[in-house]
Amino acid sequence: MPMDAGEIERLIKAKLPDAEVTITDLAGDGDHYAANVVSEAFRGKSRVQQHQMVYEALEGRMGGVLHALALQTSVPEGDNKSDN
Amino acid sequence: MSEQDIQDWIRKQIAAHDVVLFMKGTRQFPQCGFSGQLVQILDHLGVEFKDINVLEDMALREGIKAFTNWPTIPQLYVKGEFVGGCDIVRDMFQVGELQQLLADKGIAHSQRTTVA
């Protein structure tokens, strides 16, 4: 049973309440999404750890009902926004 | 193979080869777009690697996910360390971090960053 974008966002935000989540449906089949997740909780964590945090939020659906999630994770930009 | 045997077998493969790619299919015939992307990157960098086709054994396909607590395939290991799946390795390649990691670990490769 495919997932819808709203459910993915809800699950991620339940685990990472401060997260900014942007989801793109890549194929319209509920199975192939891209997600960009920005959260303070990622600060100091390796890319692998950041992605594992998101996979944990998805409670085992990753690699199951959710076949493909092209994932980008990052921390919020610092207060001192660069001008360029 | 029992679950423990699978974990031991995986550990041996990772220890026996500098670069190991657990993938769907083989480097000649990848059977998944994500696996194919990593084969392309590694071939492009001229990296010697061991390809392991997880489709040959369901216990291996599930075992490797448990081994790293990583739910998807492909999975790349360099000198025994899990580097990441398709997204992470591709991102690292695009910003030159993969090339730096290979250099740091003393693994022969070419420095090119773009894939045709």
pTM reported for the whole predicted model:
0.86
Q: What angle do CA B46, B32, A1 make, to 5 degrees?
A: 150
What pLDDT digit, counting tens, does each position of B64-103 carry? 999 999 999 999 999 999 999 999 999 999 999 999 999 9
Of A51, A60, A62, which has the smallest distance from its Cβ to B88's Cβ?
A51
Whether B65 sits inside 8 A of A55 (CB atoms) is no
Examine residue A24 and state whether it is found in any structural domain, yes or no.
yes
Distance CA A55, CA B115 (A): 29
The predicted pLDDT at position A81 comes to 42
CATH 3.40.30.10 fits B3-104, yes or no: yes
What pLDDT digit, counting tens, does each position of A42-84 carry? 999 999 999 999 999 998 888 777 778 889 999 998 743 444 4
Residue B37, min C-alpha distance to chain A (Å): 13
Q: What does residue B12 show for φ and ψ, rounded to 5 degrees?
A: -65, -45
Task: Copy the structure tokens of residue B26.
Answer: 């083989």
| Helix or strand run (H / E) with residue B15 | helix B3-16
Question: What Rg value do the Cα atoms of chain A yield, rounded?
Answer: 13
Beta-carbon contacts below 8 Å between A and B: 30
Domain ranges of chain B: 3-104
Examine residue A80 and state whether it is found in any structural domain, yes or no.
no
The predicted pLDDT at position A4 comes to 87
What pLDDT digit, counting tens, does each position of B15-44 carry? 999 999 999 999 999 999 999 999 999 999
The predicted pLDDT at position A38 comes to 97
